[in-house]
Amino acid sequence: MSRPPVPPFTFETATLKARMAEDAWNSRNPETVSLAYTSDSVWRNRGEFLSGREAIVAFLTRKWSRELDYRLIKEVWAHDRRRIAVRFAYEWRDDSGNWFRSYGNENWEFDDAGLMARRIASINDRPITEEERQFRWPLGRRPDDHPSLGDLDL
């Protein structure tokens, strides 16, 4: 299975890859998201380590059952032939109605077919008020005219 764009990455193809990942994660569909990864993809997400698509689906199912109204923006930080580094922010609320903005960085490594073989994520959460929210588009894909992280000074 191939998942274009494939390495080697240019700034334009790295940016497209990041937007495709953002769109998939904003769908909050674990099975769809898992298809962007190799069958034996290795992850570190915060302090959790996992490997393989089944583990990815289980992880994302747990994540989105407690991170409600999830909206994410990703932005390319750097890239080389097989790797892309992104920074991101997402907003979500818990089941008590408390809002958070989570900030982080991801390091991605891809195979020849453009599937992600390794994902290393470092993430910090910050409580925010309803008034501080900046990601207010309808659930799903971020509109093309919505400001980027850089535009929002995040």
Say what the pLDDT of residue 105 is: 98
Query: How high is the mean pLDDT of the chain?
Result: 98
Decide if 131 contacts 104 (C-beta within 8 A).
no
Say what the pLDDT of residue 98 is: 98
Domains, the chain, with CATH or none: 11-132 (3.10.450.50)
Inform me whether the pLDDT recorded for 1 exceeds 90. no
Inform me whether the pLDDT recorded for 142 exceeds 90. yes
Condensed to tens digits (0 to 9), the pLDDT of residues 33-91 reads 999 999 999 999 999 999 999 999 999 999 999 999 999 999 999 999 999 999 999 99
Place of tokens 């299975």: 1
Place of tokens 């700034």: 11
Look at residues 133, 60, 55 and name the one whose alpha carbon lies nearest to residue 100. Answer: 133
Say what the pLDDT of residue 87 is: 98
- Cα distance between residue 109 and residue 86, in whole Å: 12
| Residue 14, Cβ density class (10 Å: 0-12 exposed, 13-18 middle, ≥19 buried) | buried
